[in-house]
Chains A and B, each alone.
Chain A
Amino acid sequence: MLDTLYMLLVQPFVEFGFMRRALLGSVALALGCGPIGLFLVMRRMSLMGDALSHAVLPGAAVGFILAGLSLPAMGIGGFVAGMSVALIAGLVSRYTTVKEDASFAAFYLLALALGVLLVSRYGSNVDLIHILFGTVLAVDDAALLLVASIATLTLLVLAVIYRPLLLESYDPAFLQAVGVRGGIYHLIFLVLVVLNLVAGFQALGTLMSVGLMMIPATSARLWANTVEGMLLVAVGIALLSGLGGLLCSYHFDLPSGPVIILFASSMYILSLLFGSAGGVLPRLVRQRHLAH
């Protein structure tokens, strides 16, 4: 029994360096993506995160065409493309009558189409699948360093801008009235979002990288009633998803991105059912009301 567990859960990491690197990478990813996703949810920007993850593709494709399957090159390209879409879409919604969500949708579709076109013209089908769905096999030291740096930077910056960023979604008028320009924190946050999407696409692929942000964060609301509690739950679920997804991907020879996201999704469904702060089943258990 213990032997089986060891073989299932531990042995892949003992035996293979690439699995250890992938594990480290997914831990770093969870630490960065969990909190970022939670702020995306609290700021009602879930769909914007989704749009940005697609917008990263053409930049990653250009990086791929120039330097092959190298995360730093694809990362820089993806970052430039993601930030361009975020800024242009933001400007359009500010200076025209187009609403922000519609503006984001239009630009990310443009970017996605461009990205798919680039990859299918200059790469093989296998490359396209790698970029779209990720692969753990290719996490080299450079990639690991990049992902870990992004996670570290994310946590440090979030710690510094935590108060104004939270207050900007909670009570923007107050922040404005005390003379703080919330826009600068929004911009810093957008940079963090795009950086984490870039960090995610080696393991998860561009299409899936937003999943490790959104799904654990959405689940967290079903377990905790404070921002701190939600942060912990989101990171915890992201960590478990990464670990479980990696193991499944290894044992059944499946692309890691969708498997990690499916793991997160199953935890979301469990949260929906059992979540102590708003899940379905705890609500069905009839508890007698209190005296006052």
Chain B
Amino acid sequence: MSLSLHNLTVSYLRHPAVHHVSGTFAKGDATAIFGPNGAGKSTILKAMVGLIKPDSGQVSLGGIAPDQIAYLPQAAQIDRSLPVSVLDTVLTGAWRHTGAFGAVRPADKRAAFAALETVGLAEFAQRPVAALSSGQFQRVLFARILLQDAPLILLDEPFTAIDASTTFDLLQLVSRWRAEGRTVIAVLHDYEQVRAYFPYTLLLSKEVIAWGKTETVLTDAHLQRANANASHWHARAPVCHVDDEVAPSLSVPSAAPAVKD
């Protein structure tokens, strides 16, 4: 069973943000999704979590239950003005045990403190999240992912506007997750981070430009094509007929399926 996308198309106002994307993610390893703004990177993650419905095609999670995904959306979506404590935020990561109504077990609390310790915020447990810097808050969210203990981890621009030392610490967690055999998929904008920590890369520009080993994907030629392809928005684009004509797998650039197992 593999974690893969089958001819996935997602559109906003009929304009595709992700267009006929097929391919398989390396299981138990780290894949970066790389590409210009508006390339559909976040959209792919949202479709994998089930936050948006694809127009056509599908996501196959390869036997991973939807509640076994740890998903970190782009930072702005959390209302930090609410008086919620750091500890409570991390403890939501125990949702699989607590659910909406269940009690928080002592083991969950211990795990939460351990996770805060790991990200270097042990003393901040009782602080309100409003009192944290954005870097500290990102550490809290990574602590929550630790608590979620999920086999599949999706990170949407986790290091945007985060300082270098925090980014470095959190990248060590990505390495740790890889070593533990978890699948990590992250939307990133930093070329060096991708090369250093992500063995696989999906280069996206609405369509798959290249997908496979990072060193073979991030070539000048590929990047140029990605940028050239990006953010054309035609108000009167014609209707796409790819699905009517050919078998889905033929309609996309061949996505090198880089599967480890």
Cα A163 to Cα B100 with chains together (Å): 6
B253 within 8 A of A: no
Judge whether A177 and B83 touch: CB under 8 Å.
Answer: no
Cα A230 to Cα B67 with chains together (Å): 32
Select from chain A the residue with minimum beta-carbon distance to B130.
A225
Judge whether A169 and B79 touch: CB under 8 Å.
Answer: yes
Chain A: interface residue total (CB-CB under 8 A): 24
Select from chain A the residue with minimum beta-carbon distance to B74.
A173
Cα A169 to Cα B227 with chains together (Å): 37
Judge whether B78 and A171 touch: CB under 8 Å.
Answer: yes
| Extra 10 A-B pairs, beta carbons < 8 Å, given A174-B92, A179-B50 | A163-B100, A170-B82, A171-B78, A174-B71, A176-B49, A177-B69, A177-B73, A178-B67, A226-B83, A229-B83
Select from chain A the residue with minimum beta-carbon distance to B98.
A163
Judge whether A177 and B82 touch: CB under 8 Å.
Answer: no
**Which chain A residues border B79 with CB–CB below 8 Å?**
169-171
Q: Which residues of A contact B (CB under 8 A)?
A: 42, 160-161, 163-164, 166-167, 169-174, 176-180, 224-227, 229-230
Cα A181 to Cα B98 with chains together (Å): 16
Cα A163 to Cα B50 with chains together (Å): 22
Judge whether A176 and B51 touch: CB under 8 Å.
Answer: yes
B128 within 8 A of A: yes
Q: Which residues of B contact A (CB under 8 A)?
A: 49-51, 66-67, 69, 71, 73, 77-79, 82-85, 89, 92, 95-96, 98, 100-101, 128
Main SS at interface, chain B: mixed
Shortest A225–chain B CB gap in Å is 5
Select from chain A the residue with minimum beta-carbon distance to B126.
A226
Q: Which of A160, A172, A226 contacts B128 (CB 8 A)?
A: A226
Shortest A175–chain B CB gap in Å is 9
Q: Which of A164, A173, A226, A229 contacts B51 (CB 8 A)?
A: A173
Judge whether B78 and A170 touch: CB under 8 Å.
Answer: yes
Cα A176 to Cα B69 with chains together (Å): 12
Judge whether B128 and A179 touch: CB under 8 Å.
Answer: no
